[in-house]
Amino acid sequence: MNETTYAKAISTALSAAMRADPRVFVLGEDVAEGGPFTTTAGMAEEFGTDRLINTPISEAAICGVAVGAAQSGMRPVLEVMYIDFVTLALDQLVNQAAKAHFMSGGQLRVPLVLRTQGGAGYRGAAQHSQSLESWLTHIPGLKVVMPSRAADSAGLLASAIADDNPVVFIENKTLYFRRGTVPAQVDPVPIGEACTQRCGRDVTVVALSRMVHEALSAADVLASQGIEAEVIDPRTLVPLDVNTIVDSVRRTNRLVIAHEAVECGGFGAEIVARVQSAAFDYLDAPIERVGAPFTPVPLSPPLEDAYLPGAPEIEAAVRTTLNTPTH
């Protein structure tokens, strides 16, 4: 096992894919210079600028080129610098990439990976700090991946690049320089398989991306008080591993869902609906959700810190569901 950062794990997996397959190339703003968070640093020196392609500042153009290249047999990995800017590429991503296979009767494939990053905490204000994953999970034809750990980011990126469908790969800017252990030989992580990060008997906590680490911190505090929380990282939102979550809820009888996105309309609501459909009779209390308030992300550091949900909010949600009387 090696210790590395989340960003370096992504870089290593991307480099390995490019060495293994000459059809894989990277395009985006400043990718030949390493990108804003160093995930492509040093790659232009190895692969050249014909495979690390700096583009104009036009997300629509970047995604459009990638869709055409993918339909022509290449395997592009495009980087949209902030998930906020995916809004500028939605026609290409949603109306072209996601639908081409279906509308061509299976004749066309679009094997592209759109890497982007979301989340607050870097004082980026309202236009550079959003968590918009739930928008993308609403589109048939897109797979949506959201790793929380270095090892998973490497293994899932390998699977995403090998996939014949368009995959949106959502990273979190506050995780890039977080260190974690990664196997010396990284095997692909199957898209659509959740990971139980901590076992527990009293409550299930399903957390996305950065909130996985917050949930584990909350679980440590709760454990010191005799409350054992099971923490599940879905890793992939589409397809979603409902079975792992439902199996856990059938044992613990309570569920808390945590994500950084605003609570209103967040992906947590979809998990609530699926769990209630599959395990309603096993629930001893209403499902609790943890998310950000329904407001743009503030620029003010104290306000942004107050805006961001974390371990204290997860602890409070666990206590709420545990204190609900059973009938």
Are residues 138 and 277 part of one domain?
no
Are residues 177 and 45 part of one domain?
yes
**Mean pLDDT confidence for 106-113:** 97
Fill in the amino acid letter for 56. Answer: P
pLDDT category at 324 given cuts 50, 70, 90 is confident
Q: Which of 137-141, 178-182, 201-205, 271-275 shows the lowest per-residue confidence on average (mean pLDDT)?
A: 178-182
Whether 254 is covered by a domain: the verdict is yes
**For residue 183, what are its two tokens?**
């196997």
**Mean pLDDT confidence for 98-107:** 97
The last residue of a domain, from among 148, 182, 216? 182
Rounded to the nearest 5 degrees, what angle is found at the Cα of 106, between the Cα atoms of 70 and 270? 85
pLDDT of residue 36: 87
Burial of 107 (0-12, 13-18, 19+ CB in 10 A): exposed
Q: Minimal CA–CA distance to 2: which of 137, 138, 180, 135?
A: 180
pLDDT category at 327 given cuts 50, 70, 90 is low
CATH of the domain at 265: 3.40.50.920
Are residues 28 and 90 part of one domain?
yes
User: Which three-class secondary structure state does DSSP give residue 148?
Assistant: coil
Whether 327 is covered by a domain: the verdict is no
Are residues 212 and 163 part of one domain?
no
Whether 189 is covered by a domain: the verdict is no
Q: What is the residue range of 274's domain?
A: 195-322
Whether 173 is covered by a domain: the verdict is yes
Supply the DSSP string of 59-121, one letter for each residue: HHHHHHHHHHHHHTT-EEEEEESSGGGGGGGHIIIIIIITTHHHHTTT------EEEEEE-S-
Are residues 257 and 157 part of one domain?
no
The last residue of a domain, from among 151, 182, 213? 182
Are residues 223 and 175 part of one domain?
no
pLDDT of residue 326: 62
Are residues 29 and 96 part of one domain?
yes
Q: How many domains does the chain have?
A: 2
**Mean pLDDT confidence for 306-322:** 97
Are residues 139 and 208 part of one domain?
no
pLDDT category at 1 given cuts 50, 70, 90 is confident
Total number of residues shown for the chain: 327
Taking all residues of the chain, what is their mean pLDDT, rounded to a whole number? 96
Are residues 173 and 121 part of one domain?
yes
Whether 212 is covered by a domain: the verdict is yes
Are residues 107 and 250 part of one domain?
no
The last residue of a domain, from among 118, 150, 182? 182
The structure's pTM equals 0.96
Tokens 């990995």 belong to 77
Are residues 122 and 52 part of one domain?
yes
- From first CA to last CA, the distance across the chain in angstroms is 48
Are residues 137 and 37 part of one domain?
yes
Residue 182: phi and psi, rounded to 5, are: -135, 135
Whether 190 is covered by a domain: the verdict is no
The residues carrying an active-site annotation are 59, 128
